[in-house]
Amino acid sequence: MNKIKLFLLVFCLISIIGCATGQLAWTPQQREAITTRIYNHGYDKVFDALLNRLKSKGMPVLSADKQNGIIATDYVSAGGVVWGTGKQKLNINITKLNDFQTKVALYIHVEGYSDTLGMAMTDDLIDEKHYEELFKKIDEELQ
């Protein structure tokens, strides 16, 4: 019986370390490359496209401050997050680089309950595929 408990404990620790290592191993440059894009469009067009995309996809926008370049959404369900149930929200920073270029930085925050670990978890998500999917949707909106 003790061997089983020890095995489960070691397995859980390896799982946690494996997940955390993927996120903690990113250098600041890698993190920025994953979470930001520069668009060859004016600031107003990009800001409006972001708002339109969020609203059309049912993301509840808590605040949209065009002057300061900040959009924040409320939490939405993200079933399956961290091996259980969860929710996520999105914060977006929009920066005018010049009249024809705009920088967009996305930050995904997740909260959930891990069925495997039996505990609540919270984290800023650094998963390249989620960011790629979001940027692809922004690209579509800007077409």
**Tens digits of per-residue pLDDT, 45-97?**
999 999 999 988 888 999 999 999 999 999 888 765 444 567 888 899 999 99
pLDDT computed for residue 25 by the predictor = 64
**Residue type at 39 in one-letter notation:** Y
Separate counts of helices (H) and strands (E) for the chain: 4, 7
pLDDT computed for residue 98 by the predictor = 97
Looking at per-residue pLDDT, the higher value among 92 and 110 belongs to 92
Q: How far apart are CA 114 and CA 75, in angstroms?
A: 18
What letter does residue 75 receive in the DSSP assignment? Answer: P
Residue with tokens 């997050």: 81
- CB 91, CB 62: distance < 8 Å: no
Contacts of 68 (CB under 8 A, 6+ apart): none
Q: How far apart are CA 77 and CA 57, in angstroms?
A: 13
Q: Is residue 120 over pLDDT 90?
A: no
Q: Is residue 23 over pLDDT 60?
A: no
